[in-house]
Amino acid sequence: MRLVRFEIRNFKCIEYARLEWTDMLVLIGENNVGKSSVLSAIATFLSGSAIKDVSLFRRHQAEEPRAIELTGYFDNLSDEEKDQTAVRGRMDGERWILKKKYWYEAGNDGEAGGWKEQLFSYSSTERFVDWPEADNTWGAFPEQYRPLIEALQDRGARPNAVQKDALRAVVRQQRPDLIVRDAPNWVPNPGGGGNWKSNANSILPRPILVRAVQEASDETNAKDASTFGKLVNLIIERSLMQRPEMTRLQAAMDEVLALFRPDEAHPERQAQEVRDLQERINRSLNEVVGGHAVIRTEAPQTRTMVLPSTSLVIRDTLAGIETEVGHQGHGLQRTLIITLLQQLADAQAEPAAGIQVGPRRSTILLVEEPELYLHPQMERLMRDVLQRLASQGGTQVACCTHSPIFLDIADNYRAIVRMFKNAQGDTAVNQVTEELFPGEGNHADKLRLNTVAKFDPTVNELFFAKRVVLLEEFSAIAAFERAAELMGLFERHPRLRREVALIDCNGKNNIVAFLRVLNAFDIPYRVLHDEDSGNAVSQAENRRILALLPNGVAQVHLVSPDLEGLLGYQAPGKNKPFAAVSYVERLHSLGQLPNAFQDAVRIAYFGVAVEPQ
């Protein structure tokens, strides 16, 4: 089972958000725009947790018209998952769509109110033509059902729930013309009871939420509510559940469960105590309303019964003492997380051997700020581990980050979700789902962008800036930033350092690829590049750039004839950034920094040649 779309309504600062997902999801944006709220919403939905806190509702309004709604769209369901109670007959094509709704309902006439939760499935309703409303006798069924009823094995004198289900199954196989499906719609409480809800929650992907900052003791107890515990159990259960001991345990459990399950072919297998109770219930029921009750049970998951309650401690070999991870530094805690994730990736890469006992649930790993407390080399290791896990079947990864290292601007831009606050203070999201480099003609642009981003991940900083300036090469960035310092722009406008990102495109012929990304993500930008008059190839590239600018010439500034010519020096063969900065400093010290160059600097940072007051 794979979560391919997730919708959020009225959760914390999010009025509405829709996320498309395959294997990896990377949430970016400034602080306090709702990135962690998205991860919390996913974890709440998947874990089956109730919501009973008004602060989790948008603007703290928890009444039903402003209810929280969390909706998951799933595909790639296995045959075993399709046959589960919560899924069978309730799919929309090849997708299973589940919605959970939470709200607070005030009491009436002095009665206490209460928190409410309701589940929905999006599916078409299956109707059997001429199926009798009162279906508690075989004689109530019309003629077209008679041959099918006669063919039922071990048919009782009166139809019970099991036999009616068996008849429906036969109709689906032999007389599909007797089935009519209504248009798909939201069906509330589709299972009619708690068993359907518990089954739905039991087959959802298991969430593992790694928070940015929390008590480490919460992360080390290996109970299901803890991060470290879930990872430890996930690593060992794959091999543990294939051991012969587990196969024997499952067989013994099935034998015990058979005592509770009705078996029309072999009724003696059901415990006499259960059959007697069921019969007494039905006698009383028939005296009042008629109908037939069947006692059913849900089988427990073997893994939840046998996986141990483990914990992680750090042992000081010199002092001979063991210390809980909660008393260690956050850096060590994150190192342990990376270690466990590496072990999980290795375990999942190994081919399964033996017989798998019970269904294998997929896993969704949710990581807040994976770069936290890590130096750059460890950041890259964490990125590689998360990407490896996301590429493995049965595991999806979502993280929120402030680090450009975790972004793949060329090959996996669809995984990037840019988040920001709109004018009303609600969270808005921008995610690109279309192809940015369609056709063979744009393949070269994509390859160049991929090469630039791979060897210079700082270009991904464009996703974190309020305004982006694209420049041809790093020497231009060095010259512009030094000039801005000498001109006093950073001193008079401190926000420029954090709001404006100068991006080195590594050549004019790469600018077009960056423009496709910036346009798709709706990131404000300007382009400054050399005019290169007299160079036919460069002039053609200038026209390609101009064609992709939404605001045309108003969004581009041509440095004439080029940066070196504007500053009046000959570009050296090497150390070009050093040479550019040196000329800027020398000209400024002489009071001869060209006005045209100063205008270009102001245009880069302010969008106009005149510095705002």
Identify the band that residue 216 occupies on the pLDDT scale cut at 50, 70 and 90.
very low
Nearest to 464 by CA among 536, 533, 388, 405: 405
Pick the CATH number of 1-125+182-205+408-433 from 2.20.28, 3.40.50, 1.20.1740, 3.30.9: 3.40.50
DSSP result, 333-356? HHHHHHHHHHHHHHHHHSPP-S--
**Top CATH class, 441-606:** alpha beta
Q: What is the pLDDT of residues 65-118, one digit of tens each?
A: 999 999 999 999 999 899 888 898 888 989 999 999 999 998 887 677 899 999
Residues 6+ apart with CB under 8 A from 535: none
Tell me the residue type at 608. V
Residue 207, both tokens: 């969430």
Q: What percent of the chain has pLDDT over 90?
A: 51
| Residue 244: CB atoms within 10 Å | 9
Does the structure show a pLDDT above 80 at 194? no
What digits encode the pLDDT tens for the residues 232-281?
777 777 677 677 877 788 778 778 877 777 666 677 777 888 778 877 87
Residue 295 CA to residue 289 CA, distance in Å, equals 18
Residue 588, C-beta contacts closer than 8 angstroms, at least 6 positions apart = 483, 486, 487
For residue 366, what pLDDT is reported?
96
pLDDT reading at 464 higher than 80? yes
Output b/e per residue, 301-328; b: 16+ Cβ within 10 A: ebbeeebeeebbeeeeeeeeeeeebeeb
Domain limits, the chain: 1-125+182-205+408-433, 441-606
CA distances (Å), origin 595, targets 105, 531, 588, 599:
67, 17, 11, 6
Report the relative pairing of strands 525-530 and 556-559 from DSSP bridges.
parallel
| pTM of the predicted protein model | 0.82
Sequence-distant (≥ 6) Cβ neighbours of residue 40 within 8 angstroms: 11, 12, 209
Question: Lowest mean pLDDT: which of 36-45, 87-96, 397-406, 463-472?
Answer: 87-96
CA distance 602 to 583: 18
Cβ count near 338 (within 10 Å): 16
Same CATH fold assignment for domains 1-125+182-205+408-433 and 441-606: yes
> Which among 471, 513, 493, 491 has a CA at the least distance from the CA of 600?
471
Specify which residues 20 forms β-bridges with.
5
User: Quick one: how far is CA 351 from the chain centroid?
Assistant: 26
Residue 51 near residue 102 (C-beta atoms within 8 A): yes
Six-digit token string for 598: 């100063």
Instruction: Say which residue, 64 or 336, is predicted with more confidence.
Output: 64
pLDDT of residue 387: 94
Fill in the amino acid letter for 206. Answer: R
pLDDT in tens, 502-548: 999 999 999 999 999 999 999 999 999 999 988 999 999 999 999 99
Cβ neighbours of 194 (radius 10 Å): 10
Q: 514, 548 in Cβ contact below 8 A?
A: no
